[in-house]
Amino acid sequence: MNFQVGDPVVHWSHGIGKITGIEERMIADRQALYYLVQIRDLTICVPVDGNTSFRLRPPTSSQDFHQLFKILSSPGIPLPDDRLDRKSHLHGVMADGTLQTICEVIRDLTHHSRRKQLNEDDKNTLRRASSMLCNEWAFSLSLSLPEVEEELNRLLAPASG
């Protein structure tokens, strides 16, 4: 996957950003090409190699976002009751960095919160996943963050009736 300076990208763990440069750097006695990615107030170096597609991807298209809304409004899948099993499961799921799994984590943690109080790790995972989703959603659909957050809450609300 080749990105150019100025391209919007999504980093698998930091979220939406922009390519601000492409540089050759010497890191750990090895010369390599790196994308410089600006994400909020953070600039990270992402190696241009065979694993780049696991680290960076283009933002989700507006068309594809509408498919994700179905995930958010679907019934949650029960999570393990044991906090360590749940933490391991959630972190493993989110490791792929796709918006689909981020939506599943948000849906399932929200569902879990209706049965049991979330612990701090659950709350942090939910905050991080929600932030990543909302920032990309706002970018991809040209909406404000408050509009996106309101729609997310509507999609996650339990069905009445």
Per-residue model confidence as pLDDT tens digits over 102-120: 999 999 999 999 999 999 9
- Taking only the tens place, the pLDDT of each residue in 123-153 is 999 999 999 999 999 999 999 999 999 999 9
Convert the pLDDT of each residue in 48-98 to its tens digit: 988 888 889 999 998 888 889 999 999 999 999 999 999 999 999 888 878
Domain boundaries 62-156, CATH class: mainly alpha
* Cβ neighbour number for residue 30 with a 10 Å cutoff: 8
Residues of the chain with CATH 1.20.58.1290: 62-156
Provide CATH 2.40.10 ranges for the chain. Answer: 8-57
4: left (phi over 0), alpha (psi -120 to 50) or beta: beta
Four-way CATH pick for 8-57: 1.10.8, 1.10.1660, 2.40.10, 3.10.530: 2.40.10
